[in-house]
Structure 1
Amino acid sequence: CNYSSARSSDLKNHMTTHTGEKPYKCDECNYRSVTTQGVKRHMAIHTGENPYKCGICNYSSSRSVYLKQHMRTHTGERPYKCGDCNYRSARPQAVKTHMTLHTGEKPYKCGECNYSSILSKNLIHHVR
């Protein structure tokens, strides 16, 4: 492809998108990652470490991005918006799910019948 970078480490990481290689491994389980940072973030699952704490309630998180997203529950900020209607959300994934109402897409499909759903939790319930 035409990717280029001034840093060899960035190029090495990019090459894994072509090879599928995940050279960095968790010592506790089978998790593998393209980057050492990915394994480091993953380790919070095993350690239970949640250094990012909300100053308003008792919420804590392993990643700063999750705390930032949580803070929107206190501020009411909803920066992500639908391009087709007035729907707004604090979470980008919620807008992505909402967009399926406009497109009619149902990405979660049952392997045993023709059932499909907008939400993964509906498919899980269906399979049970």
Structure 2
Amino acid sequence: MPIMGEKKYECPLCNKGFTTEKYRDVHVNGHNGEKENQCKMCKATFLSKSHLTEHMKFHNKLSKKFLCSECGKRFIKNDYLVNHMRRHRGEKPFKCKYCGKGK
């Protein structure tokens, strides 16, 4: 039975592991210089149009509508703001079940 998140598809060029054959194939295309999706603002390139679309959200200030009242940093999702606010409060809600160390 496969383990959830197991990286059993390996890049033949750099040995990096991937959870799906599709992700591995997209990665291999990157080695071949096939990054056809370029950001018009910063010239970064991406293997897929969906990665470029996600990247563009970080450039688009209108999409960053969630504002931190402590430091003024903006976020594209409320969940990102909620996680960010934990830092201001010093919260570490995720603890290792073995050693108890928080993150």
TM range, smaller chain: 0.5 to 0.7
**Change in 2 beyond 3 A, CA 1:96/1:50:** farther
Paired residue total: 91
Within the candidate set 90, 99, 103, 2:76 is matched to 90
Give the ranges of 4+ consecutive aligned residues of structure 1 lying more than 4 Å apart after TM superposition.
84-87, 91-94
Counterpart of 1:28 in structure 2 is: 13
Higher helix share: 1
After TM superposition, give the deviation of residue 39 of structure 1 in Å.
Answer: 0.7
Counterpart of 1:101 in structure 2 is: 87
Summarize the alignment of residues 8-27 of structure 1 with structure 2, pairs less than 5 Å apart: 15-17=2-4, 21-27=6-12
Counterpart of 2:36 in structure 1 is: 51
Counterpart of 2:100 in structure 1 is: none
Counterpart of 1:9 in structure 2 is: none
CA contact (8 A) 1:69 1:90 kept: no
Between the two proteins, what is the percent identity of the paired residues?
A: 27
CA contact (8 A) 1:22 1:33 kept: yes
One-letter amino acid of the counterpart of residue 76, structure 1: L
Tell me the TM-score normalised to structure 2 length: 0.53
What is the Cα-based RMSD across aligned positions, in Å?
A: 4.0
One-letter amino acid of the counterpart of residue 12, structure 2: D
Q: What runs of 5+ residues in structure 1 fail to find an aligned partner?
A: 1-11, 107-117, 119-128
Q: What runs of 5+ residues in structure 2 fail to find an aligned partner?
A: 93-102
